[in-house]
Amino acid sequence: MAEKVYIFDTTLRDGEQVPGCKLNTKEKLELALKLESLGVDILEAGFPISSPGDFESVEQIAKAITNATVCGLSRAVQKDIEVAAQALKYAKRPRIHTGIGTSDFHIKSKFNATREEILERAVQAVKWARNFTDDVEFYAEDAGRTNNEYLARVIEAVIAAGATVVNIPDTTGYCLPHQYGEKIAFLKNNVSNIDKAIISCHCHNDLGLATANSISGVINGARQIECTVNGLGERAGNTSLEEVVMVIKQHKDLGYYTNIQSQLLNPMSHDVSDIMRMPVQPNKAIVGANAFSHSSGIHQDGFLKDAQTYEIINPEEVGADGSKIVLTARSGRSALAHRLQKLGYQYNRNDIDVLYQSFLQVADRKKEVEEEDLHQLASTYKAAP
Ligand code: KIV
Ligand code: ZN
């Protein structure tokens, strides 16, 4: 039996921290409703104490969302937790996400405290949050660089205090996939009450490893992934929602599933990109403009014989426009014939051989040969004696 991996979307919180991506309440609400339709299980709506505007956004989202759990972030500070609880008052399923830095970098440089003091603050925060909701998630910020034995003590203590989800963030995107996986396995094996909580992966992408680390976390026992649409987030971003969802879907052999409606992934990506005014890189997996484009002759020929030769995902499955055969100076005869045929021109092999030479001349001049160039080629060829 496949096991469910919960998708915790933080586009509206960690994603929105990106310079230039800030959203107003109306924009956040619009995206929240779309994220709910996409099928996210938990929606982190914001950080209520951070500004009156964000408080209002979280409150409006809490009122409007019916199926997903709505989550608000707080530091391990009583006032933060109370404000988060207040903003979540109308949520059908409210979750408070509270926590504190546990690596020595955070303990010494940020808090000028000791490990024992931080452990105590973590426990008090979770206990306080439990006064407002039964669903409390604890984050151990910079867990990626936290000593495993100490991390295990903190996690055991916060679960005993009432945390139902324990988030193990690789805040700086430092871990290698096997290291992050080993960290999750260490907690599974060394925290006596770990089965009372869900372990969550929250990975940043500073080394481009956020997706790999999250999947490694799941393989080693985590059952929630925190992610953002288009991988938006602080610095190099967070784990990309579309990537982890499709890894899990493509690799059924792993034995997991998510609740995400994958055919909505591309429309969702466009909406987030438009509203957040943040373009998606063309070579982005799953949702980039080139994710289903084929431009070199060898690939085009193989793809035209059987799409699966060069595509592991059917574009319809992720709501993309379809596969594209792009014509460049690296394209071959079969791609040229295919594109001409789509425009209504039927040529035999000899015609294509001749046309191909003219095509290459155009292609060497331009980055991409477009429809009007093909019409031009065809009309010149017909006009020839
Ligand atoms: O990256 C991080 O550690 C975070 C926490 C606040 C969950 O975003
Ligand atoms: Zn983060």
pTM to 2 decimal places:
0.96
Interatomic CA distance for residues 88 and 94, integer angstroms:
6
CA–centroid distance, residue 59 to ligand 2 (Å): 22
The predicted-structure confidence for 74-126, as pLDDT tens digits, reads as follows 999 999 999 999 999 999 999 999 999 999 999 999 999 999 999 999 999 99
Ligand 1 atom with minimal separation from the 14 CA: 8
ipTM of this predicted complex? 0.99
Ligand 1 atom with minimal separation from the 10 CA: 8
Residue 224 tokens, joined: 């929630």
Q: Please report which ligand is nearest the Cα atom of 138.
A: 1
CA–centroid distance, residue 14 to ligand 2 (Å): 6
CA–centroid distance, residue 303 to ligand 1 (Å): 42
Ligand 1 atom with minimal separation from the 13 CA: 8
Q: Which residues approach ligand 1 with their CB closer than 6 A?
A: 14, 139, 141, 167, 169, 171, 202, 204
For atom 1 of ligand 1, which residue has the closest CA?
171
Ligand 1 atom with minimal separation from the 143 CA: 3
The predicted-structure confidence for 154-195, as pLDDT tens digits, reads as follows 999 999 999 999 999 999 999 999 999 999 999 999 999 999
State mean pLDDT over 36-42.
98
Of all residues in the chain, the percent with pLDDT exceeding 90 is 98
For atom 2 of ligand 1, which residue has the closest CA?
171
